[in-house]
């Protein structure tokens, strides 16, 4: 059987998926170890971050195997690369990423709940609406681009809540924390912005198009690593800064200056 993909394209996707495994797995292990380096009140945020990268590590192992079964030298005929793993991963992890952000801020519990009951369903809806387009399912003849557009509506709503509504409560945070939260939001905007581009890269293919496929997989992997690993590490840094601000004796034992 002739392979569907060139050696170069195969190697790029293969190495990106393996990098995804390494990044997700060891960010998880690091965050599990590192949770004791913040005050108890911020450990929930660090634990949720570790859960996100842990779930992603599982899916990267699965995707790596699925990719090899579909395109590797010992590919099994009739095996198709399962993009469903990505959407199941996102369905579980994207709402949790928003939980991380809210949890690390140490907001009043009423405000925390009111933000989460809006962010979590919006995140789930955003992922759910993207899937039929990316998997090129034929549901009532709706085109992939329409699913992509529908999925953008909850995305914009999430941005509104994070930038406008959450923005109002930020002035209660210290200057150092405010700076980090702004970095976090920009990271979210920049990395989540990659997903629609990767989605579009593969959208117009009828059947299998190598260029679009490779671009999509590289885009999703890079965006995932930044949006989960780097994001989780920024959350951890915010938790460290806030712990030191809240408790002088903690600051003294953890930092030299």
The nearer residue to a copy of itself, 204 or 252, going by C-beta atoms, is 252
The CB-of-15 to a copy of itself minimum distance in angstroms stands at 4
Nearer to a copy of itself, 88 or 150 (CB): 88
- Least distance to a copy of itself from the beta carbon of 152, Å? 24
In whole angstroms, the minimum distance from the beta carbon of 65 to a copy of itself comes to 11
Comparing C-alpha atoms, which of 133, 132, 192, 136 is closest to residue 163?
192
Q: CB nearer to a copy of itself: give 149 or 211.
A: 211
Minimum CB–partner distance for residue 159 and a copy of itself (Å): 26
Nearer to a copy of itself, 19 or 205 (CB): 19
CB of 108 to a copy of itself, least distance (A): 5
Give yes or no for a contact between 61 and 21, defined as CB atoms under 8 angstroms apart. yes
For 37-44, the CB contacts below 8 A with 24+ separation are 37/240, 37/254, 38/236, 38/239, 38/240, 38/242, 38/243, 39/239, 39/242, 39/243, 39/246, 39/247, 39/250, 41/106, 41/246, 42/103, 42/104, 42/106, 42/239, 42/242, 42/243, 43/239, 44/103
Cβ 63 vs Cβ 17: under 8 Å: yes
Nearest alpha-carbon partner for 188 in 230, 128, 125, 238: 230
Q: Which is nearer to a copy of itself, 48 or 235 (CB)?
A: 48
Least distance CB 234 / a copy of itself (angstroms) = 14
| Rounded least distance, CB 188 to a copy of itself, Å | 21
Can you give the binding site for a copy of itself, defined by CB under 8 A? Answer: 7-8, 11, 14-15, 18-19, 21-23, 25-26, 29-30, 32-35, 37, 39-41, 43-44, 47-48, 50-51, 54-55, 58-59, 62, 73-74, 76-80, 82, 84-85, 87-89, 91-92, 106-109, 137, 253-257
Q: Is the dihedral of CA 5, 217, 199, 139 positive or negative?
A: positive
Contacts of 113 (CB under 8 A, 6+ apart): none
At residue 121's C-alpha, the angle toward residues 120 and 123, to 5°, is 65
């Amino acid at each position: 059987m002739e392979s569907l993909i060139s050696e170069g394209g195969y190697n790029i996707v293969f190495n990106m998926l393996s990098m995804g495994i390494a990044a997700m797995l060891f960010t998880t292990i690091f965050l599990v170890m590192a949770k004791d380096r913040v005050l108890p009140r911020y450990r929930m945020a660090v634990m949720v971050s570790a859960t996100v990268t842990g779930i992603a590590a599982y899916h990267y192992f699965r995707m790596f195997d699925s990719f090899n079964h579909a395109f590797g030298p010992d590919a099994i005929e009739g095996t198709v690369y399962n993009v469903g793993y990505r959407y199941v991963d996102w369905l579980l992890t994207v709402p949790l990423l928003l939980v991380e952000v809210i949890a690390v801020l140490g907001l009043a519990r009423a405000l925390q709940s009111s933000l989460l009951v809006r962010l979590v369903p919006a995140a789930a809806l955003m992922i759910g609406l993207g899937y039929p387009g990316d998997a090129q399912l034929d549901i009532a003849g709706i085109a992939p681009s329409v699913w992509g557009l529908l999925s953008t509506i909850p995305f914009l709503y999430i941005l509104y809540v994070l930038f406008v509504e959450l923005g109002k409560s930020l002035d209660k945070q210290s200057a150092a924390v405010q700076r980090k939260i702004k970095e976090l939001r920009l990271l979210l905007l920049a990395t989540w912005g990659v997903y629609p581009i990767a989605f579009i890269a593969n959208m117009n293919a009828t059947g299998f198009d190598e260029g679009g496929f490779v671009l999509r997989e590289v885009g999703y992997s890079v965006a995932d690593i930044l949006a989960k690993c780097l994001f989780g590490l920024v959350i951890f840094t915010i938790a460290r800064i806030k712990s030191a601000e809240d408790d002088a004796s903690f600051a003294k034992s953890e930092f030299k200056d």
